[in-house]
Amino acid sequence: MRGAVIHAPGDVRFEELDDPKIIHPTDAIIRTAVTCVCGTDLWPYRGAEPVDQPHPMGHEYVGIVEEVGSEVTSVKPGQFVIGSFATSDNTCANCRAGYQSNCVRREFMSTCQADHVRIPNAQGTLVATDEHPAEQFWPSLLALSDVMGTGWWAAKAAEVKPGSTAVVVGDGAVGLCGVIAAKELGAERIIVMSRHESRQKLALEFGATDIVTERGEEGIARVKDLTGGVGADSVLECVGTPEAMQQSLRSTRPGGNVGFVGVPHDVAIDGQELFFSHVGLRGGPAPVRGYLPDLIQRVFEGRINPGKVFDLTLPLEQVAEGYKAMDERRAIKTLLKP
């Protein structure tokens, strides 16, 4: 098979690789329908995370089951499936508590920018659609495997409720999906911090009511202005930098909540500031698996269309250009077709 391999920051290559095989009886092999490049893939691409040795990339996927291990009974060859970037058995104590992305058997997917993929914990991880969906649905279904599931989790962790005010920090694909989630969960006012016109436009289309272009103390002051002087009920932190975390915590009202889904890089939270803020804070890798049945339904009903975050579609073999376009902010998110 063929797939993407990162060799060094800025150096992603499309290469011939060994075909994936069933290793454990809980594995499945899928043929990739579509896959994509994630904002988190840019951390190593930009050198913000080390690349010690060449390794495959990608953790987002939808596809057709080709083969299952002997213990997998929930899906069968020929079915169209969607799964999370974090695999789970969906039976352990953490899974039962709704934190499938903290499953005791969790493995993070990392080889999905390829035409075939091995899925560990397939029984608990994969969700099959009733029928093969029309190709028009593929981008939105693909978005569920990470960015839309993560945006949903950000809104849930930030406890967005009907009638509430939500702020979204970060206008990448996850932040934009956070807007969709806040809207679906009933937020009345959705403020997006964004400086990019194309992203502002999509945010407004997804349900944002206000765009704030200021950052830092000015951005915080602007959010306070828009929220009766006290701050927002819910803030979705979708970046992962110290600046974004500070922006988020200081834009939240006392008693409000920050849901943080940007993987933190060099973020330390001052205990005393958090204490006196009365802000609640919860984050982590999104428990996508738990949301999939509901979100798949919303996609098929046309209630949500997160696939719109893909503003560049390329053949899988041009994966390197897909990274480059996102790195240079020419694209929000790149869809790859094997």
Interface ranges with a second copy (CB under 8 A) = 93-94, 97-99, 101-102, 157, 228-230, 242, 245, 253-255, 260, 263-272, 274-285
User: What single DSSP character describes residue 301?
Assistant: T
C-alpha to C-alpha distance for 115 and 334, rounded to whole angstroms? 16
C-alpha to C-alpha distance for 216 and 229, rounded to whole angstroms? 16
Helix (H) or strand (E) holding 71: none
Closest CB to a second copy among residues 120, 256: 256
Residue with tokens 């738990």: 290
C-alpha to C-alpha distance for 32 and 46, rounded to whole angstroms? 26
* CA-based nearest residue to 120, from 36, 35, 24: 24
Characterize the bridge pairing of strands 232-237 and 252-260.
parallel
Q: Shortest gap between Cβ of 256 and a second copy (angstroms)? A: 8
Closest CB to a second copy among residues 63, 290: 290
Closest CB to a second copy among residues 72, 239: 239
Q: Shortest gap between Cβ of 72 and a second copy (angstroms)? A: 25
For 21, residues 6+ apart whose C-beta sits below 8 A from its C-beta are: 29, 118
Closest CB to a second copy among residues 177, 281: 281
Specify the amino acid at residue 117: V
> What do you get for the CA distance between the two ends of the chain, in Å?
10
Closest CB to a second copy among residues 221, 269: 269
Closest CB to a second copy among residues 19, 270: 270
Q: Shortest gap between Cβ of 161 and a second copy (angstroms)? A: 13
β-sheet bridge partners, residue 3: 15, 114
Characterize the bridge pairing of strands 28-36 and 55-56.
unpaired
Phi/psi for 89 (5° steps) reads: -80, -15
Q: Shortest gap between Cβ of 335 and a second copy (angstroms)? A: 27
Q: Shortest gap between Cβ of 153 and a second copy (angstroms)? A: 10
Q: Shortest gap between Cβ of 168 and a second copy (angstroms)? A: 18
Q: Shortest gap between Cβ of 293 and a second copy (angstroms)? A: 19
Determine the 3-state secondary structure of 95 from DSSP.
helix
C-alpha to C-alpha distance for 236 and 168, rounded to whole angstroms? 5
Q: Shortest gap between Cβ of 160 and a second copy (angstroms)? A: 15
With vertex at residue 234, the alpha carbon angle to CA 230 and CA 235, rounded to the nearest 5 degrees, is: 100
Closest CB to a second copy among residues 8, 93: 93
Closest CB to a second copy among residues 163, 228: 228
β-sheet bridge partners, residue 108: 86
Sign of CA dihedral 90, 162, 239, 312: positive
